[in-house]
Structure 1
Amino acid sequence: MTDRYAVIGQPISHSKSPTIHNAFAQATHQDLRYEAVEVPAGTLADALQRLHGDGFLGVNITLPHKADAPMLCEMISERAQLAGAVNTLIRSDAGWRGDNTDGEGLIRDLQRLAYAIKDQHVLVLGSGGAVRGMIAPLLAEQPASLTVSNRSPWTPEKLAEQFRTVGTVTPRTHATLKGDRFDLIINATSAGHAGVMPRIPAGVLAKGGACYDLTYGTAHAPFRKWAEAQGATRIADGLGMLVEQAAAAFALWRGVRPETETVLASLRPSQGA
């Protein structure tokens, strides 16, 4: 019987995860089928029970469920516990084990692009579930500083407290970034999906600085335009992170880590960036 896996969220029809994972399966000669399943907010518990009953062996979780998933796992990995967010579920006899591959995916893609992190001043825009998964891996790369900024101060301050045993996170609102300079700016907001750029002061990107966006395709356009206006020497979208975090999840499920360059190259023409 073909093994079954899925990505769940809402909306989900646009997801590239089925294309990515089915390509991984073909490349590694794995007999599996990966599909997208629409799961509205507030119905995660019922959906996971149903998927378990239907025999699914693993599940990827995206918006709006990442922060709710840990409470529905019988156990979660140390990195998922630290992040307070789960994006990957592994079937157990009784339920699900949770993990978080977002940070691993980000770091692997930054390394693929030869983006420097060590001794750099790094700014992360946003404070959602993906950011929580990124903070510890970013700190492990020993940046000179790591700042997390949001429109309001509450969530960045909460994150700084949450990760204080791992390293120093400087909380900021977008407005209070004025006068600061960063070597690497990572956009982890969803603003691009609405066709806009977070309102942050001009001049925060240091001379020679680089920019990275977790979004891709048309959602990446506003941040790219802003980065170009700020004189960024390098600008990248998040398609590589999507593929790399998927490869990390695939390895958890199947015990083999697929090669990612071929899959990433195949996605480029279809996603328009």
Structure 2
Amino acid sequence: MDHYAVFGNPVGHSKSPIIHRLFAQQTGQKISYDPKLVPIGQFTEVANNFFEKALGCNITVPFKEDAFQFANELTPRAQLAGAVNTLKKLQDGTILGDNTDGIGLVRDLKNAKVLLKNQRILLLGAGGASRGVIEPLLNEQPQQLIITNRTHEKAQTLVELTKHLGPITTERYENLNDPVDLIINATSASLSSELPNISKHTIKPQQTICYDMMYSRELTVFCQWAKQHGAAKTIDGLGMLVEQAAESFYLWRGILPKTEAVLRFLRQHITIN
């Protein structure tokens, strides 16, 4: 049996073990997949020991940059993201680092029938979560991708880094007063029940769609805010979690599992923190 895991701290809340067990059942793959609590400052040591016997792992907070440094080889999307959420041991022993977050987001948006081509998209935040999704979003040929961030200079740096990929620009929160087609919250504000400092005027009632990368059993505070101001649809990030996991599974096993039933199971049976 081939061994996989998710590395994190904390990691007990992770939905990845149940997701990958469901994928394995569905595809007939004989694997084990467990949560692995990694002490802060010991990522390299734990990963080296793990890969003596195992074939791959997912990485969650706070180790995505550690995984980026640990990998011997990086996919282009991992290089651009500056962070790794999937490690795979190749046949020659090389450790490949990948980032499946962006493709997970785009697939989830498409599953929800959200248009991306020729749309004005507002991306909140300029951290690792944003950086990992810019290229896949621009590959969908939006009219414009606007990044805003509490620290404007960080957003500007990100735009400079990615402007060769497509129509990307930045704007300060206080200057955002025009409606857009899609707002993606890539900040972690929802985890602490806070809202980004965003104007309600960015929502065009019954047209703008709002997506929060965070998820919870109840509507996140961002989705609540969007609904109050007339958003056409609100979507949380649980589907993105399942879709990025499916891409990791494909990287490891060469089979892309179906995600709809897995997402439905999580919604129905799992307590979402």
Which interval holds the TM-score relative to the shorter structure?
Answer: over 0.9
Q: Which amino acid aligns with 2:213?
A: L
Does residue 1:189 correspond to 2:164, yes or no?
A: no
Measure, in 2, the Cα distance between the counterparts of 1:75 and 1:125. Answer: 30
* Aligned residues with identical type, % of pairs: 46
Q: Aligned ranges for residues 145-160 of structure 1 at < 5 Å?
A: 145-160=144-159
Residue matched to 2:233: 234
| Cα contact 1:18–1:35 (8 A) shared by 2 | yes
Measure, in 2, the Cα distance between the counterparts of 1:152 and 1:40. Answer: 30
Query: Any unmatched runs of 5+ in structure 1?
Result: none
Residue matched to 1:8: 7
Residue matched to 1:138: 137
Residue matched to 1:210: 209
Measured against aligned partners, the alpha-carbon deviations of 1:186-207 in whole angstroms (never above 9, x if no partner) come to 1111111111111212211123
Q: Aligned ranges for residues 28-43 of structure 1 at < 5 Å?
A: 28-43=27-42
Measure, in 2, the Cα distance between the counterparts of 1:52 and 1:247. Answer: 21
- Structure 2 residue matching 1:235: 3-state secondary structure: strand
Residue matched to 1:161: 160
**Runs in 1 of length 4+ with deviation above 6 angstroms?**
none
| Cα contact 2:57–2:86 (8 A) shared by 1 | yes
- Structure 1 residue matching 2:136: 3-state secondary structure: helix
Residue matched to 1:21: 20
Q: Which amino acid aligns with 2:216?
A: G
Measure, in 2, the Cα distance between the counterparts of 1:48 and 1:65. Answer: 11
TM-score by length of 1: 0.94
Aligned CA distance change for structure 1 residues 89 and 272 (closer, same or farther; 3 Å): closer
Measure, in 1, the Cα distance between the counterparts of 2:41 and 2:144. Answer: 37
| Cα contact 2:143–2:167 (8 A) shared by 1 | no
Measure, in 2, the Cα distance between the counterparts of 1:196 and 1:51. Answer: 37
Measured against aligned partners, the alpha-carbon deviations of 1:232-273 in whole angstroms (never above 9, x if no partner) come to 011111111111110000011001111111101100022469
| 1:58 to partner: Cα distance | 0.6
Residue matched to 1:107: 106
- Structure 2 residue matching 1:34: 3-state secondary structure: strand
Measured against aligned partners, the alpha-carbon deviations of 1:191-236 in whole angstroms (never above 9, x if no partner) come to 1111111121221112311111111115852011101112101111
Query: Any unmatched runs of 5+ in structure 2?
Result: none
What value does the CA root-mean-square deviation take over the aligned residues? 1.6
Aligned CA distance change for structure 1 residues 43 and 176 (closer, same or farther; 3 Å): farther
| 1:103 to partner: Cα distance | 0.8
| Cα contact 2:242–2:259 (8 A) shared by 1 | yes
Does residue 1:80 correspond to 2:93, yes or no?
A: no
Deviates more, 1:252-261 or 1:69-78: 69-78
| Cα contact 1:123–1:184 (8 A) shared by 2 | yes
TM-score by length of 2: 0.94
Q: Which amino acid aligns with 1:230?
A: H
